[in-house]
Amino acid sequence: MSRYHAVINTRSGMWGRILSAVLVAIVALGALAASATASAASLPDASAHYSFQTLDNPADLTFNQLLGINESGLIAGYFGSGAAGHPNKGYLLPNDGHGAYRNENFPGSVQTQVTGLNNTGVTVGFWADAKGSNFGFYKTGGAFHTADYPNTSPASPVVDQLLGVNDHDIAVGFYNDANGTSHGYSYTIPTHRYHKIAISGASSVTAAAINNGNDIAGFETNSAGTVEGFLKLNNGHVTTLNVPGATMTQALGVNDGDEVVGVYQVGTGNSATTHGFIWAPGFGFQNVDDPSGIGATTVNGVNDHGRLVGFYTDSAGNTDGFLATPQG
């Protein structure tokens, strides 16, 4: 599994961006920490309160991941597992899945994933070259641009990915250093300025999403070696998002109400299962699984209407994108 891994083709789920390249060492400056916990076994299940729709690009019905959704219902995603003959190819899907798929691939790239978008026409993601290096990109005004953190000791092959962007044109992502450690950062597109994103005590940080209040959701590896999610507010306050009983929790999306979505894992090895979640301040965690998923659902994006996008594994072993719309 690999969501944003050292090699773009290993992201068989946001999983790529999630489980592999998530080891970052960063120091947070005065960030306050609060713990948001719930029991994986007793997590309230909100799945019945959503209407689920499978959305797969006809170009490859075996592998799709939907990664972001804006207020107009424009969805960002990609098809292709990254295996030989099935490269990652980015796309946009308008109108809550009722429009036509539009290809979006970085010029000259071998593979592309569109990972995030805002409400003003900016998209972000990453692309891969023939050597397997990953480079962050943003697209604005119809033009593609590479955006990589100025790292003096990069991984080989290079790993640098943008994963989310807000309406102020501030993007977030991560890069790996030569030791394979991940470092979160933000990139302000109009000024071309980079800033480290730090979480106190973390040995690895990935910034996965940013809302219009400049609150950032992501995940980090703590001092015990456990991967846990976080919500870092613009004022520096950090809430740790950890489903106890889960072996991993990752926050992957956030809307303007600080509703966070992501994935948690129960068990390890061949017995491990993954489940989507939603979390909001004052409400805590709720489980969200696509009913067609077989113990493998990831919720990757959420808009201000509460619509969710992500992906699941079906009974045939295919990875399918989904849109979940709240009912009532």
Q: What is the pLDDT of residues 193-215, one digit of tens each?
A: 999 999 999 999 999 999 999 99
Give the domain ranges of the chain: 8-326
Give SS3 for 16: helix
* pLDDT number for residue 41: 62
Q: Which of the residues in the chain have pLDDT under 50?
A: 1-33
Give the residue among 9, 5, 24 at the shortest CA–CA distance from 218: 24
CB 294 within 8 A of CB 61: no
As a CATH number, domain 8-326 is 2.120.10.30
Give SS3 for 33: strand
User: ∠ CA(110), CA(115), CA(116), 5° rounding?
Assistant: 140
Dihedral sign computed on CA atoms, order 43, 47, 50, 55: positive
Tokens of 103: 């290809």
Q: What is the pLDDT of residues 65-87, one digit of tens each?
A: 999 999 999 999 999 999 999 99
User: ∠ CA(47), CA(48), CA(53), 5° rounding?
Assistant: 75
Q: How many CB atoms lie within 10 A of CB 213?
A: 16
* pLDDT number for residue 39: 63
* pLDDT number for residue 228: 97
Share of the chain above pLDDT 70, in %: 88
What is the CB-side half-sphere exposure of residue 2 using CA atoms within 13 A? 17
Residues 310, 300: Cα–Cα separation, whole Å: 5
pTM of the model: 0.90
Residue position matching structure tokens 């098809």 = 79
Question: Which positions ≥6 away from 101 have C-beta within 8 Å?
Answer: 57, 58, 59, 91, 92, 93
